[in-house]
């Protein structure tokens, strides 16, 4: 787990998220960053993870090497007023006012599950991720997209609601990247592989993964 908060000297707008979030229901991988030009990025949990109340014990899981832009939001299940009722008003929440049963508070919402974000995901400016959504490795979420459904690995989505725009790479490259899982390598190995990663040389990266990078 990261202990260093700021990746760059003199930059107080960008933080390593797992160095500033300590909620046991939130799991964030190393090197995942959040940038905020309008507020203190250290307040990510308070400002960007919404309706995340203990009553549902739901989790936010974000992988390694993700990039999260200013204003991105994660909206959890307490934002989902139940549609099973004839009214969308949250009567069970206000059990004192309506002489209800405190044990039935969770019936005010429809629970859709955890939010799980893979590795190397880029979430754009003011995008919103809804409860129950799973985002695959390498996906890109466009600015101000509203993500209500799962996103496949290495797929670019955008719009309201978010829809697939295109995949980032050919199927065989996506398969390779998910197989070698470079984001799980030791730091020094990643540093040595950066020329191949940054240049998009997937064949060189594959050789690196197999131990034949020098051939």
Res 119: pLDDT: 98
pLDDT band of residue 213 (cuts 50, 70, 90) is low
Where in the sequence numbering do the catalytic residues fall?
81
pTM over 0.85: yes
Q: Which two tokens stand for residue 189?
A: 């190995």
The number of C-alpha atoms within 13 Å of 79 and in the hemisphere containing its C-beta is 16
Beta strands 140-141 and 155-158, pairing class: parallel
Residue 181, pLDDT > 70, answer yes
Q: Do the beta carbons of residue 139 and residue 154 sit within 8 Å?
A: yes
Residue-range domains of the chain with CATH = 14-168 (2.160.10.10), 169-215 (no CATH)
Res 112: pLDDT: 87
Residues with Cβ within 8 Å of 159's Cβ and at least 6 positions away in sequence, in order, are: 142, 145, 146
* CA pair distance 82, 90, nearest whole angstrom: 8
Which is more confident, 12 or 102?
Answer: 12
Res 208: pLDDT: 87
What CA–CA distances, in Å, run from 65 to 181, 184, 189, 214? 12, 10, 15, 26
Residue 215, pLDDT > 50, answer no
* CA pair distance 120, 70, nearest whole angstrom: 17
């Amino acid at each position: 787990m990261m202990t260093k908060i700021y990746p760059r000297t003199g930059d107080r707008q960008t933080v390593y998220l797992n160095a500033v979030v300590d909620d046991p229901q939130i799991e964030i991988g190393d090197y995942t960053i959040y940038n905020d030009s309008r507020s203190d990025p250290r307040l990510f949990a308070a400002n960007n993870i919404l309706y995340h109340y203990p009553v549902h014990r739901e989790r936010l899981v974000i992988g390694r090497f993700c990039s999260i832009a200013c204003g991105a939001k994660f909206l959890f299940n307490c934002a989902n007023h139940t549609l099973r009722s004839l009214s969308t008003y949250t009567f069970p929440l206000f059990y004192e006012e309506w002489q209800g049963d405190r044990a039935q508070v969770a019936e005010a919402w429809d629970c859709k599950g955890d939010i799980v974000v893979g590795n190397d995901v880029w979430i754009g400016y003011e995008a919103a991720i809804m409860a129950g959504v799973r985002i695959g490795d390498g996906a890109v979420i466009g600015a101000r997209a509203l993500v209500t459904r799962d996103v496949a690995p290495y797929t670019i989505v955008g719009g309201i609601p978010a829809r697939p725009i295109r995949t980032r790479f050919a199927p065989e490259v996506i398969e390779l990247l998910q197989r070698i899982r470079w984001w799980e390598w030791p730091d020094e190995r990643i540093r040595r592989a950066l020329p191949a990663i940054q240049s998009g040389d997937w064949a060189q990266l594959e050789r690196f993964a197999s131990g034949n990078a020098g051939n």
